[in-house]
Amino acid sequence: MTPEEKQALRDAVDKKRKDEPFESSLARQVKNQGLAYDYYIRLISDVRDLAKQKDVGLEEAAQQLVLMASKEKEGEHQGHDQKGNGDQGQ
């Protein structure tokens, strides 16, 4: 997930208007980030899939996706550091 996609998900939750569907909030934030419509389709699909899997609302699922993406990125950095250090002697 790109930083722009993560920001769009965060903003969709944080800036959601009262009585506005999450989908509308996400669409607005995707547009504000300058992302193409296919990004919206992929993001909302991921959010809906996770919401169904975890039996939570769309906003909660979006927050979880952002956290998961952040943890994956942290793991990649740690994995590269560990791999790089382990390969030096070989």
Is the pLDDT score of 37 beyond 90?
yes
**Which residues, 6+ apart, have CB-to-CB distance to 61 below 8 Å?**
47, 48, 50, 51, 54
Helix (H) or strand (E) holding 57: none
Q: From the CA atom positions of the chain, what is the Rg in Å?
A: 16
Is the pLDDT score of 78 beyond 50?
yes
Single pTM value for the model: 0.78
Is the pLDDT score of 35 beyond 60?
yes
